[in-house]
Structure 1
Amino acid sequence: MNWAAIWAIYKVEMMRFFRTLAQSFISPVLSTSLYFVVFGAAIGSRIDQVDGVSYGAFIVPGLVMLSVITQSISNASFGIYFPKFIGTIYELLSAPINFLEVVLGFVGAAATKALFIGLVILGTSSFFVDLEIQHPVAMISFLVLTCLSFALFGFIIGIWAQNFEQLQLVPLLVVTPLVFLGGSFYSISMLPAVWQKITLFNPVVYLISGFRWSFFGTADVPIGLSLLAIATFTCLCLAAIWWIFRTGWRIRN
């Protein structure tokens, strides 16, 4: 394993993040505050508790997951797309490093950025509601796994995209709606029976449910299914990336 190459890629990607650190810090703080004003105050005044948890605290895991998923995808997709756009990806392909080292550098940096944003949102939320994390180890584990898995997915999108419009297509039209419909701001038990069954086909439900369980000890689906879902998604992304580098799809041409 060429750790020097991994560190070089990782450092370059993180330097780009630190150049806009103020923007990266202020944006999630403002967006989280607005969510609490709109959802916590307006809707929370009409919904007292959900599963024995105050509504303001209930939406915190969903807010964190929403930002972490979107940030992981956008950071990883742009990180690999930009070298394709300017042509420097051929320097990576000709360097004495394998695909795993390239992926670790780009995905590791994207996951680190998303993890930072998630922790910032979590810290901001503590100013609005009283948070009690029942399973802190599980919370960190779910957060890290989500950052890594969706950074891998974003890496695939960055390779697939042939222009900046396609780069935003999947996150805006597919991922964001799935997150909003995945129980970010409500419990699926509040839905009619038919819609509860339909919602279970949304893979994001299992991620948000497992993450919420680490906070409050309650979940819409069994915690084992949540772990299985994120493990399966991660393995599928790794398999797809292995195939991409093996065949050179959308890279060498």
Structure 2
Amino acid sequence: MSFNARSAWSIYRRELWRFLRTAFQSVLAPVLTTSLYILVFGSAIGNRMPDVGSVDYGAFIIPGLLMLTLLGETTSNSSFGIYMPRFTGTIYELLSAPVGVAETLAGFVGAAATKSLILAAIILLTARIFVPYDIAHPVFAFVFILLVAASFSLFGFILGIWADSFEKLGIIPMLILTPLTFLGGTFYSIADLPAPWNTVALANPIVYLVSGLRWTFYGSADVSIWVSLALTLAFLVACTAIIAYIFRTGWRLRN
């Protein structure tokens, strides 16, 4: 069966329009929160903090704060996008239509990833108002942000299918992703942690995402960029395989 670009575009356009209708809430809240972090930790406290490596502390925390917002918003947007059709029953119209898994994912996940890229661009522009910073590898930064956005859009898609209540939609982003991101080197380098915590921190998967994005900004990080890329790609492939299984078996979609 060939890829139906029109079906994918229709889903993508509908989901993106839903985001634009609530853009004030969807963009303003995370941008304000991130700006407050940058203002307090970057501008106010950052002036009193020593440089981390050769990077000013205020600039050092920007990739971590960007990742904090990116993970939470991408997962929430994608999970809500598929949960609402299940909640209202319109998912059966999608399942009965001549639309395959590829078109569905391209539409839902593509829209969620686009929202995340727009949000990331706004946050980076806002951050420059408070803290001067440079991006050493802009192409790598774009590709890495795109991979993370796509991966966690897929993860959010799985979460939206798994959840059977609005409360469950917020469990993973609020109680798991956010704490792991704070403990993943957002405000510090894990190399500065005392033993054995510097080794224990490597068990946190978010460390590799924050470290990878930080490398694209400043050319140095706690973990090799290739390890970060490999783990991100592995997570993307794993999420894609899980979604393919869900659509093949109809788990939580047809009941």
Deviation at 1:224, TM superposition (A): 1.1
Contact 2:39/2:130 (<8 A) preserved: no
Asked if the contact 2:43/2:130 (under 8 Å) is kept, the reply is no
Deviation at 1:42, TM superposition (A): 4.3
Q: Secondary structure at the match of 1:70?
A: helix
How far apart are 1:172 and its partner, in Å? 1.1
**1:19 matched residue in structure 2:** 21
Q: Within 2, Cα distance between the matches of 1:29 and 1:154? A: 20
Q: Which residue pairs with 1:215 in the alignment?
A: 217
Counterpart among 82, 85, 95 of residue 84 in structure 2: 82
Aligned residues: 253
CA drift of 1:184 comes to 1.1
Specify the alignment match of 1:235 in structure 2: 237
What pairs with 1:1-253 in structure 2 (closer than 5 Å)? 1-253=3-255
Letter in 2 for 1:220: D
CA contact (8 A) 1:212 1:219 kept: yes
Structure 1 range deviating more: 223-232 or 41-50: 41-50
In structure 2, what is the Cα distance between the partners aligned to 1:65 and 1:13? 23
Residues 92-146 of structure 1, C-alpha deviation per residue, up to 9 Å, x if partnerless? Answer: 1000111121111100001110111111101101111111111111000111001
The offset of 1:76, in angstroms, is 0.3
One-letter amino acid of the structure 1 residue matched with residue 133 of structure 2: L
Alpha carbons 2:43, 2:131 under 8 Å: kept: no
Structure 2 contact 47–58 (Cα < 8 Å) conserved: no
8 Å contact kept, 2:8–2:106? yes
Q: Offset at 1:21?
A: 2.0
- Percent of aligned positions that are identical: 55
Alpha-carbon shift at residue 48 of structure 1 (Å): 2.1
Amino acid at match of 2:29: S
Q: Contact 2:136/2:218 (CA < 8 Å) preserved in 1?
A: yes
Bigger mean CA offset, 37-46 vs 166-175:
37-46
- Distance in 2, matches of 1:231 and 1:65, equals 16
Larger deviation, residues 184-193 vs 26-35 = 26-35
TM-score (norm 2): 0.96
Alpha-carbon distance in structure 2 between the residues aligned to 1:242 and 1:29: 34
**Structure 1 residue 213: Cα displacement:** 0.4
- Structure 2: gaps spanning 5 or more residues: none
How far, CA to CA, are the matches of 1:103 and 1:22 in structure 2? Answer: 26
Query: Does structure 2 conserve the Cα–Cα contact (< 8 Å) formed by 1:210 and 1:226?
Result: yes
Q: Is contact 2:75-2:152 (8 Å) kept?
A: yes
Is contact 1:28–1:120 with CA below 8 Å preserved after alignment?
Answer: no
Deviates more, 1:27-36 or 1:195-204: 27-36
Asked whether the equivalents of residues 86 and 253 of structure 2 are also in contact (C-alpha less than 8 Å), the reply is yes
Q: CA deviation at 1:46?
A: 3.2
Once the 2 structures are TM-superposed, how far is the Cα of residue 238 of structure 1 from its aligned partner? Answer: 0.5
- CA drift of 1:28 comes to 3.2
1:11-62 CA distance string (max 9 Å, x none)? 1111111112233332233222211232124431331211110011001101
Cα distance in 2 between the residues matched to 1:41 and 1:212: 19
Distance 1:220 1:187 in 2: 7
Q: After superposition, what is the alpha-carbon deviation per residue over 1:187-227, rounded to whole angstroms, capped at 9, x for unaligned?
A: 10111121111110111111110110011011101111111
**How much is the aligned-residue C-alpha RMSD, in angstroms?**
1.1
Post-superposition offset of 1:83? 0.0
128-137 or 144-153, which deviates more: 128-137
Residues 38 and 62 in structure 2, CA contact (< 8 A), matched pair in contact too: no
Q: Which amino acid is 1:100 matched to?
A: A
